[in-house]
Structure 1
């Protein structure tokens, strides 16, 4: 909860505000893109900042979880679960559709800070039909050979220099 947006989060939000970026698709569950000011964020794996009752569906903020003792319970007696995708759970259809549409309509796709080994998220790149593919990552990815621009560095460091 103490984490702050880094240079990459801030630059992406700035690019969106300038009309140069239409969406962020992320596997992160920390809400840092929104904290930086990004408005259109497709959180493929959800967010720990949102939590809901598995019985009645009532939403609870993260402070409700932090202030709970043991397994968080709703007033109705149901278990309060973080709004995140757990192992073997399906991704949210509307989030995936939004992400696919954003990727498919992009002229340039910047992929940063991911190994591109976690599916189904890694498979979303197949929807990109635009002109320029940019990959920024510390380690090699399976898509490096397809990149028009490949930068082997920390994404926060790269964006801090833009």
Structure 2
């Protein structure tokens, strides 16, 4: 009889144990205010922001690549659009490393460094989205005949470390 009671108790507890193991990737799985709750919420925001950033960046690349060409303007060779793609990939890697360091520098325990790193990625991502949108607006403000010559100036804020370097 004790064997049956133990087996019955174990079988009754299995669904609960299974639920506890499955519930790790949703904010409601964690106490409000905990690092895991905060981190999951921030990660959801970051996913949404990164999708929005990817769409905006793709639109920027298409916009830059579609600059009108006339007999007086140079033929685009794709170098600028390739550079924008490569720079965005590099920026995403930079953001991850930079924010991982920021999270670690907090000295916090548990999952807090990861939550702080995600918050950092969210902040940098929001700034990057604003810069991409500003570049698109700037390009739109240039007359079509001058766009191929002047759009580069609109893209300078996307390269903050080289922002002050002279362009020949």
> What's the TM-score bracket when you normalise by the shorter of the two chains?
under 0.3
**Could you tell me the TM-score, scaled by structure 1's length?**
0.23
Higher relative CO (CA 8 A, sep ≥ 6), structure 1 or 2? 2
Greater helix content = 2
Instruction: Identify the structure with the greater strand proportion.
Output: 1
Whose Rg is larger? 2
Normalised by the size of structure 2, how large is the TM-score? 0.22
